Structure 1
Amino acid sequence: MAMSLQMGLSSPSQHHLLVKPTHNPLYTSRKSKPQISFTRTTTTALLSSTKEAVLKDFHHHRALKIISGLQNLDRNNVASVVTAADKGGATHVDIACDPELVKLAVSLTSLPVCVSSVDPSAFLAAVEAGATMVEIGNYDSFYEMGRIFSPEEILKLTKETKQILPSVTLSVTVPHTLSLPEQARLAELLQLEGADVIQTEGGKCSTPSKPGVLGLIEKATPTLAAAYSISRAVTIPVMCSSGLSAVTVPMAITAGAAGVGVGSAVNKLNDVVAMIAEVRSLADALASSQKQANLDQEKTLKWL
């Protein structure tokens, strides 16, 4: 797909101490002021601490975000996904951009809650309800309707979101419909616009030809390739998402990702017990890859 960008575009316990569900200090709408009164110095420190807490696991290359789905408004399913993320060892949970779902989520977990949407104005109410991270993306549900997001449109959505919520942690998904060089270039521009995290995708379009482990690796190939390319083009964290499994999560970290996002492998399961088990297997795979990376680093240091 051709792309014209010649436009001159320029810890859980801590979480509850920092943000109250109905009084989120990250909410900075021009039309509505937070109901909590802070001095400027206190507010700046609070916002900085909140963002630092949200991004901490990314900086340690161990972020695991469990995704319930951008258009999933089923309260029971969302509650199960959030509970599984909390009990299974995830570091973040991603839900639809709905204030009532956010309130539900923060009542069930102290993990940072991310909301996904392609409408920047919809983030306001969700952040006021307690969300501490927003995501422009999770486009998979739109592709089935023939809806494609251009680089220019994504940059525009990013600018609008930063104008509305300049202090909230912002993640932006780069579409897999672009070539890898185009994805890397868009990621660079998104970093310049103030994105805090870049998310990859591609699993939805991948159709494995083999069963078993080989099929799982085939399924993850597009998003792994994107994570590799984008992580070498930007200095902000990259989250590898879409089509991942316990088999391919370590590969994502090796490819350069600072974290992984998993949706259907969890949210399509029938009960919360199975969901928890799946999240635990993902968390264990991520921990194993981190442990191996540390061992490799120690070996390298010994040889120096």
Structure 2
Amino acid sequence: MAAAGSLGLLQAPSSFTAAAASRPVARRAPRPRALFAVRASAAADVTKDAVLKAFREKRALKIISGLQNFDRSSVASVVSAADKGGATHIDIACDQDLVKLALELTSLPICVSSVDPSAFHSAVEAGARMIEIGNYDSFYDTGIEFSSEKILKLTRETREILPDITLSVTVPHTLSLPDQVRLAELLEEEGTDIIQTEGGKCSSPTKPGVLGLIEKATPTLAAAYSISRAVTIPVMCASGLSSVTAPMAVTAGAAGVGVGSAVNKLHDIVAMVAEVKSIAEALGLPSRNVSSNLRTVHY
């Protein structure tokens, strides 16, 4: 708007005659968009549609290996388990070599997580189709928390670098529930595609078994319920979920669930696949044929 205002204040030179003013003004034809730009934009739209399809159908299941998990063997096991167990998305640390590794093991959309916007570009070039500002658990352990202002700043910086990639942003559970809702609304205005909730770290179950699983999921379920009613973009409920509580998340308003420690803390690939499959079945996802001779994946 400032530029337009400045143009409006320009004065015609004194030599500007009435005759010159009466001449028809030659209008320049609009410059056509470069064919490459059109194709790139169309490709981005197709990619985003494919990534968001499961969310729009309210059946997304993202398996998370960990924001700071750079162990190739561990990541390979989680990716393989997610693929064979019936997940719809994989979430790994933001590293181009890990992206290439994951692409050797699955055709599912790869999401990379980071809190450093500059780190996303190389991972996207390597083949990541979704990026996530989030998975803050490892930072909480060191006493680091994220304010609404910090999250918004990271989101704006990321959108400047990668305006077309599918972007998910986690709303910290350390904020009050009303503040989480308000931040989600602001993130939607900034062009975020998916809001992710969390809460497992702030929950200390007092009961064993199913009651304990429900207690553990309560904070993230409450956030998913509240946020999904305040925004129009998909909400992914994550942190502290299991096959018991994943369907509750969808009932609460989530378009999908993110599962990390329930899978990535297991040390056996067969157990990992079984856990993913259990959650996928609880969400009504189609089952996949799994080889009976699964073993630990080494990379």
What TM-score do you get using the length of structure 2 for normalisation? 0.83
Q: Does 1:222 align with 2:254?
A: no
Q: Does 1:213 align with 2:241?
A: no
In structure 2, what is the Cα distance between the partners aligned to 1:123 and 1:156? 15
The one-letter code matched in structure 2 to 1:114 is C
The correspondence for 1:104, drawn from 101, 109, 132, is: 101
Q: Deviations over 1:199-229 (max 9, x none)?
A: 0000112110000000000000000000001
CA RMSD, 1 decimal? 1.1
Give the match for residue 137 of structure 2.
Answer: 140
The correspondence for 1:170, drawn from 167, 176, 182, is: 167
Q: SS of the residue aligned with 2:172?
A: coil
Residue correspondence of structure 1 range 85-104 to structure 2 within 5 A: 85-104=82-101
Q: SS of the residue aligned with 2:206?
A: coil
In structure 2, what is the Cα distance between the partners aligned to 1:91 and 1:167? 21
Larger radius of gyration: 2
Q: Does 1:128 align with 2:135?
A: no
Give the match for residue 295 of structure 1.
Answer: none
Residue correspondence of structure 1 range 1-304 to structure 2 within 5 A: 39-287=36-284
In structure 1, what is the Cα distance between the partners aligned to 2:40 and 2:172? 35
In structure 2, what is the Cα distance between the partners aligned to 1:40 and 1:143? 41
In structure 2, what is the Cα distance between the partners aligned to 1:52 and 1:271? 34
The one-letter code matched in structure 2 to 1:231 is S
Q: SS of the residue aligned with 2:41?
A: helix
Unaligned stretches of 5+ residues in structure 1: 1-36, 289-304
Q: Deviations over 1:153-185 (max 9, x none)?
A: 000000000000001000000000111111000
Q: Deviations over 1:235-282 (max 9, x none)?
A: 000000000000000100000000000000000111111101100000
Give the match for residue 288 of structure 2.
Answer: none
In structure 2, what is the Cα distance between the partners aligned to 1:53 and 1:249? 22
Count of residues in Structure 1 that have an aligned counterpart in Structure 2? 252
Q: CA deviation at 1:38?
A: 6.4
In structure 1, what is the Cα distance between the partners aligned to 2:134 and 2:37? 32
In structure 2, what is the Cα distance between the partners aligned to 1:164 and 1:42? 19
**Segment of structure 1 superposing worse, 39-48 or 179-188:** 39-48
In structure 2, what is the Cα distance between the partners aligned to 1:284 and 1:230? 25
The one-letter code matched in structure 2 to 1:155 is L
In structure 2, what is the Cα distance between the partners aligned to 1:160 and 1:39? 25
